[in-house]
A and B are shown apart, each in its own frame.
Chain A
């Protein structure tokens, strides 16, 4: 059984008239999208800015309300669930964000940021246990345990992204939405983060929805690639096939836009 199955998902944002707030139109950010994610695999989602990639990611985690369709997690539709019914599942589905500067609360120490996830989902842990687990998580993402006492502004973009990954891993999820996790990073750091994500996938059997606007990054990590354009998925194929034999006009354009330094 697929870990995650998305059926005819639609996320529309209402456009309202300025004075009477009448519903005049919809922005169809996600328009009738279907795909599946198998356990332990990565599905890449590419498309230009504003094509609705991030909205899909947010809708899957119920951070944005869906308009129609189904999202089956292990066969169970999560969209009709209330927040309290969905909370146990939040443990299994996490997210890594694009902006490494905005995704960490500047007023909290790294230990507090990662520890908070543990407080909610592992209330049985004592303070000492929690500290130990935070140290372990920091090591897992390639940081030093002593860094727990420091604050987000003391870290580089790549390090912050690692902290974001540690926070997501803290609850031991099975599925992670990676929303352009490397777009804001230097090219040299990008590879490190992508490799870290791959290593973690191997160790922990994670599944990823890997969102990017850059085919080159997705090529490296994905098993299956979805190409999105204006809210719709225009091409869906195994990674190798999409590069060898792109079917859709837009995919060819995207491929042509990948810089080649030969």
Chain B
């Protein structure tokens, strides 16, 4: 997909994405439910802090997503901003003044807060740049597998009969193929790249969501409020979206948050198999993957692993806490 590499296409996609997000927020804030939820959320300190952390990741990810033209093709805005940090020859420890090499401890060109990696790139900058991959993989995949899984799960649980049979047949078939095999096969067809990786993970990932939602829907459908809605002559679509969806949403939220870290790590596995992120794309997965050899060498190189895992950990923690807060904010039982 060559045209996707065009600078203006990439920037336009980003702009369109943010436009859509803004539209959704404006649309959401008009409904009463979201307004009360926001009122609750504003009083939730931990929730706000985690929201800020997520926001920070988004800002960093966005900086890395904006592409600028340069002499050597294109650079990202984050690269342009950190251009002042010199590149070393190879590994150097955090804040060291000389290279790590025991045989030839040459003085470094500058100080690096978190040291440098095998190619002499600043670890902190690499960690920040990798945010983009994580957000893309986690976000885009979730955008694919959540609607798919939720819709199919709801329909299977609500209509039952042949719809249920069909959905179960499809997801059992998908689940029967070993996941890695399926991912590699899809990526072979689509080619390397963050976008194709998200599509591949989305195609394999909806099964668990659909199963979960189907089970909960089967339980909820038996409750008399659904019979009451039918007796009032509500359309199936309204029963699905207005009655069933809000009552399974907590599961969607939990699954999304818990699945996010799994997706970021799946990227590492795929990169290791050679079908993941294209060479040169910074990602926490590849950093963690590289640390297998870094941890077995002498002197030990621990900073790449530490930086990338901490960044991943903090992102997942913030998402978890924010997910909890969101769930509490939307729960009517919390009281006004």
Contact = CB atoms under 8 A, between A and B. Distances in A.
A162 B242 CA distance: 22
A49 interface: no
A185 to B, nearest CB: 15
A241 B234 CA distance: 41
Interface in A73-127: 86-87, 90-91, 93-95, 97-99, 102-109, 116-117, 120-121
Contacts of B242: 116
A98 B233 contact: no
Contact of B224 (A87, A93, A103, A106): A103
Contact of A117 (B230, B232, B336): B232
Given A58-B227, A95-B227, A106-B247, A116 B232 contact: yes
Nearest to B225: A105
Q: Report the interface size class on chain A.
A: 20 to 34
B150 to A, nearest CB: 16
A95 B332 contact: no
Contacts of B224: 97-99, 102-103
Contacts of B228: 95, 97, 103-104, 164, 167
Contacts of B229: 105, 116
A97 B230 CA distance: 13
Contacts of B246: 105, 107-108
A157 B79 CA distance: 63
B332 A120 contact: no
Nearest to B243: A105
Contact of B231 (A61, A109, A150, A152): A61
A103 B231 contact: no
Contacts of B243: 105
Contact of A171 (B230, B232, B336): B232
A98 to B, nearest CB: 7
A42 to B, nearest CB: 19
Most chain B CB within a 10 A radius of its CB, from A99, A121, A151 = A151
Contacts of B225: 102-105
Contacts of B247: 105-107
Interface string B207-248: 000000000000000011101111111100000001100110
A262 interface: no
B30 interface: no
Contact of A153 (B230, B232, B333, B336): B333
A87 B233 contact: yes
A151 B333 contact: yes
Nearest to A96: B228
A154 B331 CA distance: 13
Nearest to A118: B232
Contacts of B231: 61, 63, 90, 93-95
A116 B234 contact: yes
A121 B231 CA distance: 12
B232 A90 contact: yes
A107 to B, nearest CB: 4
Contacts of B234: 116, 120
A106 B242 CA distance: 12
B32 to A, nearest CB: 8
Nearest to B244: A105
Nearest to B232: A117
Given A97-B228, A153-B333, A120 B223 contact: no
B321 to A, nearest CB: 23
B253 to A, nearest CB: 14
B265 to A, nearest CB: 33
Contact of B227 (A93, A97, A171): A97
Nearest to B228: A103
A119 B247 CA distance: 21
A190 B230 CA distance: 26
A208 to B, nearest CB: 15
Interface string B87-124: 00000000000000000000000000000000000000
Nearest to B222: A102
A95 B231 CA distance: 7
A63 B332 contact: no
Given A98-B224, A105-B247, A63 B333 contact: no
Contacts of A150: 336
Contacts of B332: 106-107, 109, 151-153
Contacts of A102: 223-225
Contacts of A171: 232
Interface string B324-336: 0000000011011
A90 B229 CA distance: 11
Nearest to A99: B224
Given A97-B228, A102-B225, 5 more contacts: A103-B223, A103-B225, A107-B332, A153-B333, A154-B335
30 contacts: A58-B227, A61-B231, A63-B227, A86-B233, A90-B231, A90-B232, A94-B231, A94-B232, A95-B228, A95-B231, A97-B227, A97-B228, A99-B223, A99-B224, A103-B225, A103-B228, A104-B228, A105-B225, A105-B229, A105-B247, A106-B333, A107-B246, A107-B247, A107-B332, A116-B229, A116-B242, A120-B234, A152-B332, A154-B335, A167-B232
Interface of A: 58, 61, 63, 86-87, 90-91, 93-95, 97-99, 102-109, 116-117, 120-121, 149-154, 164, 167, 171
Complex A-B, nearest 7 residue pairs according to Cβ-Cβ distance, in ascending order: A90-B233, A151-B332, A103-B224, A107-B246, A97-B224, A102-B223, A87-B233
